[in-house]
Amino acid sequence: MESAQALVIGGGIAGLLCANMLKDRFSKVTVLERSNYAQPSDSTPATRPEVPQSHCLHMLMGAGTLAFDELVPGWRVELIAREAVPYDVGSDVAMRVTSGWLPRVETGITLYGASRGLIEAALLSVLREADNVRIQTGQRVIGLEVSQDGARVCGVRLQSTTGGSHVLANADVVVDASGTASRLPRWLATIYGEQHQIARTEVAPGRQYVSRWVRLAPDQDPGWQGLSLAPTLESGGRAGMMMRAEKDLWGVVLQTPENVPLPTDDKAFLASAAALPDRSLYDVLARAMPVTPLHLFGRTANRRRHYEDYPFWPGNLFAIGDSACALDPYAGLGMTAAARGVQLLQRYLDHSVRTEASFQSQLAKHNQWPWMIATGDWTHGASNPGMADQIDSLTRAAPFDPELAILLLELQHMLRAPETLTNEAVA
Ligand SMILES: Cc1cc2nc3c(=O)[nH]c(=O)nc-3n(C[C@H](O)[C@H](O)[C@H](O)COP(=O)(O)OP(=O)(O)OC[C@H]3O[C@@H](n4cnc5c(N)ncnc54)[C@H](O)[C@@H]3O)c2cc1C
């Protein structure tokens, strides 16, 4: 692949991780991003209107951090240089699961408190050091260009935000990383016919979210770097989270069931915090200073596009990240799943995975684990029929046993496979 060129559609988390991986394998890598990256400011996190979730606190789970390390060596240094705050997920985070508070125990799992804009900025800064990478912003991909026999994708059609469209050709590999609103199914239908639609699976947990950034009053010390309150029956399914990030900013997110209206003003936001399973988040928010407006995220869903079943899939096209599999934000696994997918693509391109299965069908299998966590469905596709009961027992017992608390956190952070749980360990 020495003189080959790769195109990446979308410069979000999946696209930036992927471009970092591809730069060592292709002589030229071009990232096509429809928006412009926002300049960081001291007062609020950098956000992009085209990426609505950039307003919301993003937690990178333990397995995601390890995958980022492999794909983008040096990214943590960039993150810390931009004032991300590292903290231990057990000793520094007050976490209430459905059965009670977890003991504040050292786990060795580090969370990097950072806004999503800061994570993107760290990935971008490493990428910009590579002289074979071009990041073209203000470029919206509007279709694919295929070879005459339709067997290969050889380029993309672009529309510049300043007007006009043109074709970028001679691509050896095209990666779609354009997120949950990806138009890839439409582009494929335009080329290969409307009669073959991409199958989808959707599991909507009936949750919605509201988020904002705040600063604490100078004399406020909550005694934790992060707080997480899981939903309970008594709280009517409400949950909440607050995490410290860069520049003394704290991200807050409240979850309500979809039949409960989301708060749209400060008073209703506080009232919603007061209705959580515990008053601790309300107590902190009541004195904190809001620095951003409220951002609402209506009905979210877990959604897979079954590209692996599409009969005309061209060999040099790859779909990764939310384009292929988007997860409900509650489990905080979207970036982790995206990074694991890019690791899989790396192994696929390097032929270290020797199998006849296409990349998309390998990815579908690879995503089964985060999918089970995000949907809470431990029965479909589980290797062990007792897994759901084991996880339930573990969650009930974890508040009373530091070792089980660590086990539960390792599971949530995808650092321990659920298959490794034994009945003895969680009885
Ligand atoms: C409310 C909310 C909270 C979340 N919280 C977390 C969390 O705590 N932890 C976590 O791990 N994940 C979280 N996620 C999920 C996470 O944002 C994504 O899973 C992750 O960023 C991977 O997404 P992606 O890169 O595939 O897509 P995106 O991040 O959406 O990026 C897609 C990129 O493609 C660009 N693009 C789209 N169409 C085109 C086009 N036609 N041409 C050119 N460019 C295009 C977009 O502008 C964007 O930059 C959350 C999601 C939501 C909705």
The β-bridge partners of 200 are: 305
The pLDDT-based confidence of 141 (bands split at 50, 70, 90) is very high
408 lines ligand 1 (CB under 6 A): no
* Of 297, 323, 351, the domain-final residue: 297
Residue 405 is assigned to a structural domain of this protein: yes
120 lines ligand 1 (CB under 6 A): no
59 lines ligand 1 (CB under 6 A): yes
Does residue 335 register a pLDDT over 80? yes
Q: Give me the mean pLDDT over the 291-301 stretch.
A: 92
* Distance (Å) from CA 342 to ligand 1 centroid: 14
* Distance (Å) from CA 132 to ligand 1 centroid: 24
- Residue 188 to residue 180: CA distance in whole angstroms: 16
117 lines ligand 1 (CB under 6 A): no
DSSP state for residue 322 in the 8-state scheme: G
* Distance (Å) from CA 148 to ligand 1 centroid: 33
Q: What is the pLDDT of residue 278?
A: 95
Does residue 1 register a pLDDT over 90? no
* Distance (Å) from CA 198 to ligand 1 centroid: 20
11 lines ligand 1 (CB under 6 A): yes
Q: What is the pLDDT of residue 410?
A: 97
Percent of the chain surpassing pLDDT 90: 83
**Same domain assignment for residues 367 and 219:** no
* Distance (Å) from CA 404 to ligand 1 centroid: 33
The pLDDT-based confidence of 379 (bands split at 50, 70, 90) is confident
- In 3D, which of 214, 237, 243, 219 has the Cα closest to residue 94? 243
Nearest atom in ligand 1 to the alpha carbon of residue 61 is 11
Amino acid at residue number 421: L
Residue 63 is assigned to a structural domain of this protein: no
With 0-12 / 13-18 / 19 or more C-beta atoms within 10 angstroms meaning exposed / middle / buried, residue 68 is buried
**Same domain assignment for residues 33 and 135:** yes
Angle between helices 359-366 and 334-349 in degrees, nearest 10? 140
Instruction: Give 78-109 as a DSSP string.
Output: HHHHTT-EEEETTTSEEEEETTEEPP----SP
* Distance (Å) from CA 322 to ligand 1 centroid: 7
Does residue 354 register a pLDDT over 60? no
Residue 257 is assigned to a structural domain of this protein: yes
Percent of the chain surpassing pLDDT 70: 96
DSSP state for residue 10 in the 8-state scheme: -
**Same domain assignment for residues 210 and 231:** yes
The β-bridge partners of 156 are: 144, 168
244 lines ligand 1 (CB under 6 A): no
Q: Give me the mean pLDDT over the 281-288 stretch.
A: 97
Helices and strands, number each (H, E), in the chain = 13, 21
Indicate the top mutation candidate among 9, 13, 323 to test ligand 1's pocket, ranked by most ligand atoms within 8 A of CB.
13
* Distance (Å) from CA 25 to ligand 1 centroid: 24
**Same domain assignment for residues 420 and 285:** no
- On the CB side of 153, CA atoms within 13 Å amount to 29
Could you read off the pLDDT of 69-108 as tens digits, one per residue? 999 999 999 999 999 999 999 999 999 999 999 999 999 9
With 0-12 / 13-18 / 19 or more C-beta atoms within 10 angstroms meaning exposed / middle / buried, residue 255 is buried
135 lines ligand 1 (CB under 6 A): no
The pLDDT-based confidence of 355 (bands split at 50, 70, 90) is low
The pLDDT-based confidence of 427 (bands split at 50, 70, 90) is low
Does residue 426 register a pLDDT over 90? no
Residue 361 is assigned to a structural domain of this protein: yes
* Distance (Å) from CA 182 to ligand 1 centroid: 10
The pLDDT-based confidence of 233 (bands split at 50, 70, 90) is confident
**Same domain assignment for residues 346 and 416:** no
**Same domain assignment for residues 320 and 282:** no
**Domain extent at residue 27:** 5-58+119-202+301-375
Q: Residue 4: how many CB atoms within 10 A of its CB?
A: 16
* Distance (Å) from CA 141 to ligand 1 centroid: 16
The pLDDT-based confidence of 43 (bands split at 50, 70, 90) is confident
* Distance (Å) from CA 21 to ligand 1 centroid: 18
Residue 305 is assigned to a structural domain of this protein: yes
**Same domain assignment for residues 173 and 223:** no
Does residue 287 register a pLDDT over 70? yes
The domain that holds 210 is classified in CATH as 3.30.70.2450
Residue of minimum CA distance from atom 3 in ligand 1: 329
**Same domain assignment for residues 194 and 216:** no
Does residue 353 register a pLDDT over 90? no
Average per-residue pLDDT in the chain? 93
324 lines ligand 1 (CB under 6 A): no
140 lines ligand 1 (CB under 6 A): yes
pTM: 0.96
Q: What is the pLDDT of residue 357?
A: 78
In the chain, the number of structural domains is 3
Residues 6+ apart with CB under 8 A from 63: 336, 340, 413, 414, 415
Does residue 217 register a pLDDT over 80? yes
Residue 10 is assigned to a structural domain of this protein: yes
* Of 244, 277, 297, the domain-final residue: 297
Lowest mean pLDDT among 325-329, 336-340, 357-361: 357-361
Q: Give me the mean pLDDT over the 142-170 stretch.
A: 92
Give the three-class secondary structure for 150. Answer: coil
| Inter-CA distances, 267 with 14, 133, 250, 286, Å | 37, 47, 19, 10
- Residue 68 to residue 75: CA distance in whole angstroms: 7
155 lines ligand 1 (CB under 6 A): no
339 lines ligand 1 (CB under 6 A): no
The pLDDT-based confidence of 352 (bands split at 50, 70, 90) is low
Angle between helices 13-22 and 334-349 in degrees, nearest 10? 20
Check: CB of residue 61 under 8 Å from CB of residue 87. no
- Residue 397 to residue 7: CA distance in whole angstroms: 48
Q: Give me the mean pLDDT over the 274-297 stretch.
A: 96
Nearest atom in ligand 1 to the alpha carbon of residue 336 is 11
Could you read off the pLDDT of 199-209 as tens digits, one per residue? 999 999 889 99
Residues 6+ apart with CB under 8 A from 262: 208, 209, 210, 256, 272, 296, 298
Residue of minimum CA distance from atom 52 in ligand 1: 53
* Of 278, 297, 316, the domain-final residue: 297
Does residue 422 register a pLDDT over 80? no
Give the three-class secondary structure for 386. Answer: coil
**Same domain assignment for residues 286 and 417:** no
Indicate the top mutation candidate among 54, 57, 58 to test ligand 1's pocket, ranked by most ligand atoms within 8 A of CB.
58
**Same domain assignment for residues 129 and 36:** yes
The domain that holds 323 is classified in CATH as 3.50.50.60
Residue 98 is assigned to a structural domain of this protein: no
The pLDDT-based confidence of 40 (bands split at 50, 70, 90) is confident
Residue 381 is assigned to a structural domain of this protein: no
**Same domain assignment for residues 213 and 286:** yes
Does residue 250 register a pLDDT over 70? yes
**Same domain assignment for residues 220 and 292:** yes
